[in-house]
A and B are shown apart, each in its own frame.
Chain A
Amino acid sequence: MDFEKIYNEYKNIVYNLALQYVQNQADAQEITQDIFLSIYKNLNSFQKKSSIKTWVYRIAINKSLDFIKSRKRIKRRFFFDAIRNNQTKEKVQFSHFDHPGVILEQKEAVKKIFDAINQLPERQKTAIILLKIENKTQKETALIMHCTVKSVESLYQRGKNNLSKLINNEGK
């Protein structure tokens, strides 16, 4: 398999998926590089048990979640530093909302939804992103997430309910 061919075919898919997770162009570009580096390294060990598309999606999701985890670790460190320096009132934010796929008029509304999505458990978040933003079918989502269609359905329903609770609580 030719790496360049895979890169040209999937670069936009991967970039968009990373954007849905971090909602920031610079971070999404960094994640895209990490994803393709991982694909480049593991291309020879790809066993073709799934399609290349599913494999690329899995790597992209895992790398995006890893990136968020690493950011949270840094954030926690900064938070403790802030406690030490009595600066807890200031909210430490790393990357602002900068999603190029959202038009200006809807920016505030979409940001609010994404703020809630970011608080969801990883798998619920992934189910919502794949089904509603990436427009994948339940079967495709199940393949990517390595679970059954029923699990995807239940993850999506729970995610949707939690999302609504979070949005309503913020509004109060």
Chain B
Amino acid sequence: MKENEKKYVYKVNMNVDFLQKIKSVEIPKHVASRILLNIQSNRYEKISAVYIRRVAAIFILFLVADISTIVYYHQKHKENENDSNSYIELDKNQIYNE
């Protein structure tokens, strides 16, 4: 191995070995208890969020069903009206023809 290469390998190892000087630390106690509390309380938030979402979904479903029923009956009513009008016009035409 050339001298330059040796120096390079030494330098690389030095950099990485330096990382081993980093000490392990403890999470601050107040932070640890806050995180635990947040997580345990989050469960209830999640449940209520899911519950609200389900209720909203059912409400929207009923709303869509209601609207489509109203539209359907409205169209049917209009069709009936049109039918009765055409009968009247037919009668008039029949009179003139006669």
Contact = CB atoms under 8 A, between A and B. Distances in A.
Asked if A and B are interacting partners, one says yes
A133 B17 CA distance: 9
Interface string B34-70: 0110110011000000000000000000000000000
Contacts of A33: 35, 38-39
Contacts of A164: 8, 11-12, 15
A102 B24 CA distance: 9
Interface residues of B, number: 25
Contacts of B18: 106, 109-110, 113
Interface in A11-30: 11-12, 15-16, 19-20, 29
Interface of B is mostly: helix
Contacts of B24: 12, 16, 101
11 contacts: A11-B27, A15-B27, A20-B22, A40-B42, A101-B24, A106-B21, A109-B18, A110-B22, A132-B16, A135-B20, A164-B15
Given A29-B35, A113-B19, 5 more contacts: A15-B26, A40-B39, A40-B42, A100-B25, A164-B11
Interface of A: 3-4, 7, 11-12, 15-16, 19-20, 29, 32-33, 36-37, 40, 99-103, 106, 109-110, 113, 128, 132-133, 135, 160-161, 163-164, 167-168
